[in-house]
A and B are shown apart, each in its own frame.
Chain A
Amino acid sequence: MSFQLVLELLPSTLADGLILGLLYATIALGYTMVYGVLGLINFAHSEIFMVGAFVAVELLTYVLAGSPLHPVIQLVLAMIVAAAVSAALAGLAERVAYRPLRRSNAPKLAPLITAIGISLFLQDAVRFVESLFGQFIRPFPSMPFFDIPLPLTPNDSVPMKSLVILIVAGAMLAGLRYTVTHTRLGKAIRAVATDRMAASLMGIDVNRIVMLTFVIGGALAGVAGTLYALQFGRVDPFSGFIPGLKAFTAAVLGGIGSIPGAMVGGIVLGLIEMLIGTFVPILTNNAIGTEYKDIFAFGILILILIFKPTGLLGRPSTEKV
């Protein structure tokens, strides 16, 4: 009986898992970019993502609501503005809280602490600003277009927004991959990632490249935030933490620093979460509930790291002695 149920639920679970995974992956791209270049966990990334989500929701609620534009164009406009704001914020964070530390030869932990400082600051700053205008939990405005069902199997469908997320996430991955492998900027980024000193000797302005890396990462976070708000229907100032954590897990899972790795890691994590969240309660008669999916996600992370410490697509790093 339960086997029948599993078969029925499988297609939609896989689709949901893929979408969730793509969301994680889009956030993970920002982590992976910065980590690849600086070897630094940009802890503030999850809050930059949260700010992006807020900007998109506010824009759609107050500026674009009731406009005659097609919903997709509205969403794209919101994404562009969210990306711009998030990019500016990420650049500012780099300038204020990371660059001075690179100069002053501070201990390894220092940038991590400033990142946490920025995170805490942004959470409460957004909460303060939002609560000046009422509730600080903001719903995504209702846009019926994104809920149009698209048939998946004869008796199953996914909403339009899943398709939107799939397309945008695919475009982000392809665009980023092209930028890094085929453009001058990408070449400079790879040079700085390989050896900062040598890159600067070759005439690359390292600070500019690092700044651009943060800006690109921030823009990606803004787009990801918009998608996240679209998928889950609301944002609050603390909604960055858990997705940020999951995205980082995804980045590590895929091999941090590798762009396809972030994508693969995100999708694997999203699928695992959805499959476990849906089927384990059914198979155990609710003795083990959906809440345990996080435990499985981290458990799998630990297992993978033990057997393949560089992640699924990461290359082993050799250490100079």
Chain B
Amino acid sequence: MVSRPFSRSAWLIAYTLVVTLLCIFVFTGNGLMDTVAFVALLVPLFMASDFDKTDPRVGGLVLAFVLLCALPVIGMRNTFYLDVAIQVGIFAVLALGLNIVVGFAGLLDLGFVAFFAVGAYLWAIVSSPHGAALLGAGFPLQGDAFFVIVIVAIFVAAGAGALLGLPVLRLKGDYLAIVTLGFGEVIRVLANNLDKPVNITNGPQGIAGIAQPLTEAARVLATDTAVPAFRWQALIYYAVVLALVLVAVLANRRLDSSSIGRSWVAIREDEIAAQAMGVPLVRTKLIAFATGAAFAGTMGVLFAAKQTFVSPESFDFNQSIGILAMIVLGGLGSIRGVMMGAGLVTILNLQILKSLSAGLNHLRATGFEILGWSFANLPTQFEPSKYERLIFGLILIAMMLYRPRGLVPAERRPISARDAGRAS
């Protein structure tokens, strides 16, 4: 007789191995089936990270295997998958950052992407030819200054968060929401128009030619192996993102169980009661705002380096809403849920809808018939990838109606008086 947890673990390992082999040897393209297989490969990540149901050792092993072996191998064959993984990583950290503000502290922020833009423009300006014209001698910085600027961005974005937070944090709920929304618009307008009198952001054209980190390493690796440099570069980004996600998760966990985390939750649940119990309102909220912003700023730097191009378009209201939707879909306040929400939304937009469109186009072109109705009659406007907002909107509504607390609802952790004494 095998005990249940063991059989669950065994199934998980077997499943992971089979899907990995399928992804490596059979489904290597970008078609619909390949997308399905790739998504199937990500399911074990979700199962394995549920340490309540899976043996933590087995779970950790599966996580490490998929993230460190399977994904890089598949990604080196087809860098599209690495791109998707990097995007998921970027959005996962953004979602974790917003989760601190909205999920833990209960401050509705609809302009979160502004801090992402701050980080992105920071790296774009200091590392591009445009920055050289603006800042003069000594610029642009070398690509490897990336790692320094990532650290700088943490402080710059946190500063921006505090700066916004100071005047507006006295507002509550919907008022705060509308002001942060306005702030997001302000940042977009600034990015769009700060090309005169002094050209700082280069306006709607955006900034191109942004440096990438570790290009030298990628070149050396490419000459040593038969694999071209751009693939190594993608792998390097993947590794950097993975490291940042890990740091973000650990930071989120520590914050969640720290005394400041408790204060955030107290404010979220009842501001007046929290204040009466001695929680300093403004300071606590400011820390939440600044911490969330720091996460976003860091990822902004990475985003700019990865795209080698930034323009105001990447930082509009829809992005803020997208990130908010990720954390609400996944489960506000739940770290695992938030990451899952980020993964689902990103993969839906980047992969599933696109491959659905490609599949439908194929059916239309071949005149495939179903019950006497030919796909050739399908209007050309009908392409799922063009209507991602429509589908996304429906998903949001359905989710809220059927699972208002998200896919992985946050759990209340019981805490005893002794623990509380130790934490503070």
- A residues near B, CB below 8 A? 35, 39, 41, 96-97, 100-101, 104, 106-114, 116-125, 127-128, 131-132, 241, 245, 248-249, 252, 256, 287, 289, 291-292, 294-295, 298-299, 301-302, 305-306, 309, 319, 321
- Chain B interfacial positions (CB closer than 8 Å to A): 102, 108, 167-168, 170-171, 173-175, 177-179, 181-183, 185-186, 189-190, 192-193, 196-197, 272-273, 317, 321, 324-325, 328, 332, 379, 381-382, 387-390, 392-397, 399-401, 404-405
B178 touches A241 (CB 8 A): no
- Which residues of the partner chain A approach B179 to less than 8 Å between Cβ atoms? 298, 301-302, 305
CA distance A130 to B183 in the complex (A): 32
Cα of A132 to Cα of B381 in the assembled complex, Å = 7
- Chain A residues with CB under 8 Å of B328's CB are 109-110, 113
A320: nearest residue on chain B (CB-CB)?
A: B272
B186 to A294, Cβ gap below 8 A?
yes
* Residue in B175, B178, B189 whose CB lies within 8 Å of A291: B189
Given the contacts A249-B178, A302-B168, A132 and B379 also touching, CB distance less than 8 Å = yes
Contact status B182-A123, CB under 8 Å: no
A124 touches B389 (CB 8 A): yes
Q: What residues on B are CB-neighbors of A41 within 8 Å?
A: 174, 177-178
Q: Complex: how many Å from CA A74 to CA B385?
A: 39
Q: Contact at A124–B393, with CB atoms within 8 Å?
A: yes
In this complex, what residue of B is CB-closest to A122?
B393
Contact of A287 among B168, B173, B197 (CB under 8 A): B197
Q: Are B183 and A298 in contact (CB under 8 A)?
A: yes
A-B contact count (CB 8 A): 135
A100–B387 touching, CB < 8 Å: no
A113, B175: Cβ atoms closer than 8 Å = no
Contact A109:B185 (CB < 8 A) given known A252-B178, A291-B192, A301-B179:
no
Complex: A112 Cα to B328 Cα, angstroms: 11
Give A93's nearest chain B residue, CB to CB: B397
Q: Is the Cβ of A97 less than 8 Å from the Cβ of B189?
A: no
Q: How far is the CA of A96 from the CA of B396 in the complex (A)?
A: 13
Query: Are B381 and A252 in contact (CB-based, < 8 A)?
Result: no
> What are the residues of chain A within 8 A of B382 when measuring CB–CB?
128
With A41-B177, A97-B397, A287-B196 as contacts: A294 and B189 at CB distance below 8 Å: yes
8 A-B pairs closest in CB distance: A117-B396, A121-B393, A120-B393, A124-B390, A298-B182, A106-B404, A117-B397, A120-B389
Say whether, besides A294-B186, A309-B170, A101 and B393 are in contact (CB < 8 Å): no
* Nearest Cβ on chain B to A108's Cβ, whole angstroms: 8
Q: Which of A96, A124, A309 has the most CB of B within 10 A?
A: A124
Which of B189, B192, B388 has its CB near the most chain A CB atoms (within 10 A)? B189
Known: A96-B397, A120-B396, A248-B178. 20 other contacts (CB 8 A): A35-B174, A100-B401, A101-B400, A109-B102, A112-B177, A113-B325, A114-B396, A114-B401, A121-B390, A124-B387, A124-B389, A245-B181, A249-B182, A287-B197, A289-B193, A294-B186, A295-B190, A305-B168, A305-B171, A306-B168
Measured CB to CB, the nearest residue on chain B to A317 is: B172
Knowing A106-B400, A107-B405, A305-B171, say if A116 contacts B325 (CB, 8 Å). Answer: yes
* Contact between chains at A104 and B404 (CB < 8 Å): yes
Name the residue on B nearest A296 (C-beta). B186
| 30 residue pairs A–B, Cβ–Cβ below 8 Å | A39-B174, A97-B400, A101-B401, A104-B404, A107-B405, A109-B108, A109-B328, A110-B400, A116-B321, A116-B393, A117-B392, A117-B400, A121-B389, A121-B390, A121-B394, A123-B390, A124-B389, A124-B390, A124-B393, A132-B379, A245-B181, A248-B178, A249-B178, A249-B182, A291-B192, A292-B189, A294-B186, A294-B189, A298-B186, A301-B179
